[in-house]
Structure 1
Amino acid sequence: MDSLENILPDISPGQTDRGKQDAKVALFGEHTPPSPSVLHVGCVGGQQTDARWMHRRLDELASSLVGIDVHEPGIKRMRDAGWDAEVGDAHSFELDREFDVIAAPNVIEHLHSPGQFLQTAATHLHDEGVVLLSTPRIWSLHHVLTWLKDTEVVVSSDHTMWFDDPTFQRLVDHTPLSVTNKETFRWQRTAASTVDRAYLLVERALSKARVPDKYLDYQHFYCLKL
């Protein structure tokens, strides 16, 4: 578990830097209707700098924003800083209200029952609302090369599963939701190791050679509706 200082460097509402939005933020924003009510599932973590903290980015888009997370110290700190946030499990939260947008960036791969999460989300969604989520993409070039080197791919020790498009579609087929849009994306990686630095050089060379994004992108984005 990341330290609270790393997860939430500066969480006062209204303190923001609009110049550092990344690909994930852009996609979530693109599929968010004007002035929506938003529920952010997994609101404590997700970004390691204040300027890129996803909850703050969603706040810029929302008319009202509620966050839930199982990380109790993080929720306490958010509430102390003035955010509307509460402890809640993604599988079984009960908020007695519906939302225009339920955002779950890079949450579903941490869950023990992703179908239960989607069922719960559906009960909290307005008729024309959307569920927006992202998750790592197993068949990206980066992950394939990592597997060839190490015979395993570990993005996070907290992850319980991987998704590709057919697997995710089969999961959604067992819920009241439907996939209405799917995309892949990537953001600027941090070269934390020699392998990362080598891959970044390869990625840049392939990008210049106009290799299709489907080979280089390492995140899925899905938009779901009732």
Structure 2
Amino acid sequence: MSRPPMFRSKNDFILPIVRDKSVLDLGCVDYGKGLTHDPTWLHGAITALAAKTVGIDCDTDGIAPLFEKGFDIRCANVEDFRLDEQFDVVVAGDIIEHVSNPGAVLDCIRKHLTESGMCLLTTPVTVNFMRLVELIFTGEIYAHPEHTCWFTSGVLAELVRRHGLTIDSLCYINDARLYYPLLSRWGVPRLIDMALCRIHPVFCETFGAVLRKA
């Protein structure tokens, strides 16, 4: 079996796919606060490349200033939204681990995909170097306070199968340096992390999946 590709950032995974397509970006506000002029801001970068971009978020306070700047962002819950249109690409960047009902999110995604459309989903990897370090030194693995679950590629494959989708391909994203100050600078921990990711990308911080209708 061939090794899945490894990217340095979520943008490197997502942006080449969305060019000239209609895109629905789920949960796009939180990471955009104050970042509208930052070229690495994912929703802004998608908007610049896609033929059409619609965002969805339930953060009304966050939507207002972005809407004023010209971004088409609708206020809705990713677990039960309904738009009267379908998209070539649905981006679900690091949201499925935040919700109460991941299956409901997948149902909504499927309804809003064209027949040949795809969903680009990312979520944290369950086990990697820094989580092992945390476990050794603290006895537990840290998770974002709003996370509700963890996924492996196998668990995700079963979940999407139950909701009429299938995993077309997997990739890994080596972006741990963005979340762990210890890895943000060069040193032994970062070298170990990089070496493990080169041995196999499953040791990366994040994995991505391209989903299609089954």
Give unmatched runs, 5+ long, in structure 1. Answer: 1-20
Are residues 1:42 and 2:32 paired? Answer: no
Which residue of 1 is the match for residue 118 of structure 2? 130
Alignment CA distance shift 1:140-1:67 (3 Å): same
Deviation per CA, 1:122-165: give whole Å up to 9, x if none: 00100010011100001112212222222222231010000011
Which residue of 1 is the match for residue 205 of structure 2? 218
Which residue of 1 is the match for residue 4 of structure 2? none
Match of 2:51 among 56, 60, 63: 63
Displacement after TM superposition at 1:206 (Å): 5.5
Are residues 1:150 and 2:138 paired? Answer: yes
Are residues 1:23 and 2:2 paired? Answer: no
| SS of residue matched to 1:60 | helix
Are residues 1:172 and 2:160 paired? Answer: yes
Q: How does 1:77-92 map to 2 (within 5 A)?
A: 77-92=65-80
- Equivalent residue pairs, number: 204
Paired AA for residue 57 in structure 1: A
Identity of aligned residues (%): 25
Displacement after TM superposition at 1:30 (Å): 3.4
Alignment CA distance shift 1:152-1:80 (3 Å): same
Paired AA for residue 225 in structure 1: R
Task: Select the structure with the greater relative contact order (CA < 8 A; seq sep ≥ 6).
Answer: 2
Contact 1:22 1:52 in 2 (8 A): no
Give unmatched runs, 5+ long, in structure 2. Answer: 1-6
CA-based RMSD: 2.5
Contact 2:25 2:90 in 1 (8 A): yes
Contact 1:191 1:200 in 2 (8 A): no
C-alpha separation in 2, matches of 1:210 and 1:177: 28
| SS of residue matched to 1:109 | coil
Displacement after TM superposition at 1:210 (Å): 7.9
Which residue of 1 is the match for residue 148 of structure 2? 160
C-alpha separation in 2, matches of 1:165 and 1:174: 14
Provide TM-score, normalisation by structure 2: 0.85
